Structure 1
Amino acid sequence: MTRNLHGNLDSDGFCLLHCSSKEPVDLAQDALHFVLNLNGMGVWMSQQLRINLVASTLAVFHYASNDQLIASRIPSEDQDSYVILSVTKPWIKKSFGSRAEALHPSVKSIIFDSQNISGTIGKVRSMSLREKEIANEFVSPPVPSAAQAFWYPAKIFEILTLHLFAPPTLNTAEPFCSQIKRQQSDRIDKAINWLNEHLDESLNLQAIAAHAGCAPHYLSRQFKKHTGMTLKQKHRELRIDHAAQLLLDGDFNVTEAALEVGYSSLSHFSKAFQEVKGERPSEFLQS
């Protein structure tokens, strides 16, 4: 099932969709697409692109008019749920052209250069807490229906500014409560980044806390409070998500994928894989 949340690509220049089925969605050519994959797995392939998405990951890419994109969703027991924000190049020029120098270099190349190529903006990566919150809010807006015509454009601009521009500098006039919330979110994001960069290593709470800039016990408590998972559970989830993507790419067998993400025991890897994905690696490959 695909539900239009807001906008029309032809008339408005942007369109926001929520998809909750295994049926792939055809994406418009010569547009920039933001895919926030909340649950399930999907693949987009063309001569110029290969994008594999697992749960809680995102991708930002341009689909050129001279390319042919093949989309598919991977069968699994999980209920698919992903949000696609599509925007046209003329709309981006109109909305952000006055700030063109501050745009990401890849965005400037796609929007303002004459080359017509498909390409990603950055890499496929895990969603931050804020990105996941926005994606869930897109699906279930926290405002009355009468206010959604104003709320959706504001949120669309928020997700665009998170990806099209460099991170904002610290505002010293920021209210104290907002600073605390932002610092907590930043620490959790830094912890997740550390976990992503050390998938093949054992969990090191002291190193993670040092990287996040806070005490270990404080980080553990805040991480569980804001994510609903312990650091150990998140580390396992990220390991298995990455291993699943390696298997999906077809360049690694089960043993190689297990070793790549730090599992020396194949039985431990299979058990963890089944706990996270609901099926054994062999069943995942067959599906």
Structure 2
Amino acid sequence: MYLLYPAFESRWLGADAQHGGRHWLQALRPRAIMALLLLDGGIRVDWTMHRHREIAGNSLVWMNTGAALPEGVRLLGGGGNEALVLHFPLEWVHGSLTSLRQEMSADFRSLLLGPHPVTPLITRPLEAEDRAWSRSLMAPTLCSAARQLLEGSRMSEFFFRKVLTESKGEELFCTRTRRVALERVGKVRQALLANLEDPPPLEELARLCGCNPQYLSRTFSEAAGTTISLYLRRLRIEKAAEMLAAGQANASEAALEVGYRSLSHFSQAFRAEKGISPSAWVRGPAPLANARQLSA
């Protein structure tokens, strides 16, 4: 069982016109699966034998550097390039996925486990929730050991969610059930985000998902790894943390904005999610600003 996250890395990359994308190439690690969340700009990845791929922004790029490392990465566009690169060691990927070959789409199976394509790279459209996820990955106010554990856990969840939830034509029953459960998680998320201050009750969420409340509660917990109430707390605190970091509100205003009538309850919830109090979060380095820095 792979419970730890050996040599997981996350790194923000920006425009570097002077070096023509050299620091992007240097960010690629050998013998790894790289997930590049290309938020803005565009890149050209050069391989041997005059092969290359040009990739526009708003893309999720998967690359197997164990099969082949590119010779170069060039930045396209007007210098607004920005991306988050995630590094998953090949040993961890193989150990985690070998027994799940049939749960993956054909191109993912080939890229990750072989036989590898000539150009070991595939792309997917970047989803809106991927952008939000990338901004909230870093936790600069935590100590390095705690941050590594938190980021490793979140990167692992991101990896499996992306690799194992694509349709493969005729789905296995367990895969189809998982997909439907994840779709329900998405519907619940949208409904909660639409009204964090006064979220719909469980009965209304169940009606939106087309199932009974008890079944939704159970399958949501299985798919999301947490209860709906704790998921709501996470969404509320993420929104409040963004407001505090951006200076849009003080703690009392942020608490009311996301549905907490008691400042003490808000502070308890904030500490449970972020590991520090709202006041310490404001006093420390702004999370949204530090998220753009390269990880140590």
Task: Compute the TM-score of the two structures, normalised by the length of structure 2.
Answer: 0.50
How much does 1:244 deviate? 0.6
CA gap of 1:280–1:63, structure 2 versus 1, over 3 A, is same
8 Å Cα contact 1:273/1:279 also seen in 2: yes
3-state secondary structure, aligned to 2:211: coil
Q: Return the letter of the residue paired with 1:141.
A: W
8 Å Cα contact 1:247/1:254 also seen in 2: yes
8 Å Cα contact 2:178/2:223 also seen in 1: no
Equivalent in the alignment of 2:44: 89
Task: Using CA pairs under 8 Å that are at least 6 residues apart, name the structure with larger relative contact order, 1 or 2.
Answer: 2
8 Å Cα contact 1:243/1:258 also seen in 2: yes
8 Å Cα contact 2:191/2:200 also seen in 1: no
Equivalent in the alignment of 1:61: 39
* Alignment partner of 1:260 out of 243, 257, 279: 257
CA gap of 1:179–1:137, structure 2 versus 1, over 3 A, is farther
How much does 1:157 deviate? 5.3
Equivalent in the alignment of 2:92: 141
3-state secondary structure, aligned to 2:124: helix
Distance in 2, Cα, partners of 1:150 & 1:249: 40
The answer to whether 1:118 aligns with 2:80 is yes
| Paired positions, count | 196
Distance in 1, Cα, partners of 2:81 & 2:260: 33
Q: Return the letter of the residue paired with 2:126.
A: H
Distance in 1, Cα, partners of 2:169 & 2:111: 29
Equivalent in the alignment of 2:238: 241
CA gap of 1:274–1:175, structure 2 versus 1, over 3 A, is closer
The answer to whether 1:151 aligns with 2:142 is no
What aligned pairs does 1:259-278 form with structure 2 within 5 A after superposition? 259-278=256-275
Cα RMSD (Å): 4.8
Distance in 1, Cα, partners of 2:13 & 2:53: 26
How much does 1:150 deviate? 5.2
Distance in 1, Cα, partners of 2:196 & 2:90: 31
How much does 1:221 deviate? 0.5
3-state secondary structure, aligned to 2:126: helix
Gaps of 5+ in 1: 6-16, 34-57, 65-87, 108-113, 125-134
Gaps of 5+ in 2: 25-35, 60-75, 99-108, 128-164, 285-296
How much does 1:222 deviate? 1.1
Distance in 1, Cα, partners of 2:167 & 2:110: 31
Q: What are the superposed Cα offsets for residues 134-170 of structure 1, whole Å, 9 maximum, x if unpaired?
A: x79769724249x89952798x956x31528xxx997
Equivalent in the alignment of 1:214: 211
Distance in 1, Cα, partners of 2:112 & 2:166: 25
8 Å Cα contact 1:29/1:63 also seen in 2: no
Q: Return the letter of the residue paired with 1:244.
A: A
Task: Compute the TM-score of the two structures, normalised by the length of structure 1.
Answer: 0.51
CA gap of 1:234–1:284, structure 2 versus 1, over 3 A, is same
3-state secondary structure, aligned to 1:143: helix
How much does 1:267 deviate? 2.1
Distance in 2, Cα, partners of 1:59 & 1:197: 25
3-state secondary structure, aligned to 1:61: strand
Equivalent in the alignment of 2:294: none
8 Å Cα contact 2:251/2:278 also seen in 1: yes
Q: Identity across aligned pairs (percent)?
A: 27
